[in-house]
């Protein structure tokens, strides 16, 4: 059963939160980072990019140590404050598209991660896990939640709605035009009710943050071994998470772009595709697939629909039925010669918020030879993959919401 606990968060003062909160560092362009660091002394980006103070690129352990220093300076300057009592946080986001996401920020158990109570659907890269583990070990805090999801729960929904009737601790709109609301929950009766509800859930599912959760698990293993008085209740036994009901998740597809046809001409490529797909030329019509195992393809100025020939493809498990996997085993690997979906420089990914116009433009520019459009993966598909202990291909899902870094910070 899932163990979710409240924690004593470190968080910005009410007047600074809108200035401090930041997206994930890698979501900014270099120019955006530069402008925020130059114009906003309170941005969380100053903490994670400490070399800016010295106008120098700094990496590795030297950077980690400076990140810790910047974080301590923010605390010393009163930009961050620490909760007096363990708390949950009800967090609501209304994004610029009008979509609304509501969930609870709490601490999830690394033991649940190890025991597969917290289920995974995505492969991780070991070197990234180890890098982030060392980062966490040095800085001593985590400022970006793992996104977990659970089946809709009416009792928990009623508690959250009641909490949201009061004034939020934070209410701010970002330059990205998303509005964030945060309620602090420290009433012991309500905390216990929330914990009890989660404890009755047989499983939680990682929606986003597989590397962060894996690194937190590795960190806990290290610190357990180094602590002769380990009890299991230390802060390192948990990691900060944003828990959201399944119905609130918004899942977009990742479309695929490939630089060349692996030495084939257009007609040869179409003939080889015909083995596994029924192909229809859609001309200039923007064709977007509307059912499972159908794909859109943009090639040489025209759209095509590709419908999987079910007699030629066998489905034996949840992974076999996944469209990103089908495209990989029938097209990307055997025809286009792309085996390593993470590292092959010939393939790029475009999340579905950019739509097929982005795919068309990228191919028309000559940068890519062909683009493929897919349906978004569903929550049920994610859960089936995780329940069967399987892993999706990289870039199978682009999931919202995306929390801001630094709104709540978890120390260990």
pLDDT over 90 (residue 180): yes
Average pLDDT, the chain: 96
For residues 247 and 259, membership in a common domain is answered with no
Q: The domain containing residue 22 runs over which residues?
A: 4-251+400-411
For residues 338 and 404, membership in a common domain is answered with no
Please count the structural domains in the chain.
2
pLDDT of residue 125: 81
For residues 277 and 162, membership in a common domain is answered with no
What residues form DSSP beta bridges with 146? Answer: 241
pLDDT over 90 (residue 25): no
Give the predicted TM-score (pTM) of the model. 0.92
Cβ neighbours of residue 326 closer than 8 Å, sequence gap 6 or more: 293, 308, 313, 320
For residues 52 and 118, membership in a common domain is answered with yes
For residues 208 and 259, membership in a common domain is answered with no
pLDDT of residue 352: 87
DSSP character at residue 14: T
For residues 287 and 341, membership in a common domain is answered with yes
Q: How far apart are CA 345 and CA 336, in angstroms?
A: 13
pLDDT of residue 86: 98
For residues 239 and 363, membership in a common domain is answered with no
Q: How far apart are CA 318 and CA 206, in angstroms?
A: 17
For residues 303 and 355, membership in a common domain is answered with yes
Phi, psi of 63 (to 5 degrees): -65, -45
Instruction: For residue 354, name the pLDDT band (cuts at 50, 70, 90).
Output: confident
Q: How far apart are CA 133 and CA 214, in angstroms?
A: 8
For residues 281 and 309, membership in a common domain is answered with yes
């Amino acid at each position: 059963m899932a163990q979710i606990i409240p924690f004593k968060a470190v968080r910005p003062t009410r007047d600074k939160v809108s200035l401090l909160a930041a997206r994930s560092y890698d979501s900014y362009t270099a120019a955006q980072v530069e402008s925020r660091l130059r114009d906003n002394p309170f941005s969380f980006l100053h903490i994670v990019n400490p070399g800016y103070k010295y106008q120098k690129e700094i990496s590795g352990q030297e950077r980690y140590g400076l990140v810790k220093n910047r974080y301590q300076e923010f605390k010393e300057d009163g930009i961050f404050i620490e909760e007096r009592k363990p708390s949950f946080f009800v967090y609501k986001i209304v994004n610029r598209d009008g979509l609304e996401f509501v969930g609870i920020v709490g601490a999830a158990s690394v033991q649940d991660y190890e025991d597969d109570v917290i289920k995974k659907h995505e492969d991780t890269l070991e070197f990234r896990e180890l890098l982030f583990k060392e980062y966490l070990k040095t800085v001593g805090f985590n400022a970006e939640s793992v996104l977990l999801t659970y089946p809709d729960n009416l009792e928990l929904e009623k508690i959250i709605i009641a909490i949201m009737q009061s004034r939020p601790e934070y209410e701010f709109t970002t330059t990205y035009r998303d509005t964030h609301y945060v309620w602090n929950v420290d009433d012991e009766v309500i905390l216990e009710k929330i914990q009890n509800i989660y404890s009755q859930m047989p499983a939680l599912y990682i929606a986003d943050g597989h590397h962060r959760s894996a690194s937190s698990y590795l960190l806990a293993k290290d610190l357990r071994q180094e602590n002769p008085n380990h009890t299991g209740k230390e802060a390192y036994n948990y990691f900060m998470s944003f828990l959201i009901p399944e119905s609130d998740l918004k899942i977009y597809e990742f479309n695929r772009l490939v630089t060349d046809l692996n030495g084939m001409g257009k007609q040869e490529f179409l003939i080889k595709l015909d083995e596994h797909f029924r192909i229809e030329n859609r001309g200039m019509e923007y064709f977007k697939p509307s059912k499972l195992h159908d794909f859109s393809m943009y090639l040489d100025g025209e759209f095509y629909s590709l419908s999987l020939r079910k007699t030629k493809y066998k489905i034996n498990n949840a992974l076999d039925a996944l469209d990103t996997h089908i495209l990989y085993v029938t097209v990307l690997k055997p025809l286009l010669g792309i085996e390593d979906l993470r590292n092959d420089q010939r393939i790029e990914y475009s999340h579905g918020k950019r739509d097929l116009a982005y795919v068309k433009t990228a191919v028309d520019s000559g940068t890519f030879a062909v683009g493929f459009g897919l349906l978004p993966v569903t929550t049920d598909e994610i859960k089936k993959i995780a329940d069967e202990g399987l892993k999706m291909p990289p870039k199978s899902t682009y999931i919202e919401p995306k929390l801001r870094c630094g709104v709540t910070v978890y120390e260990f």
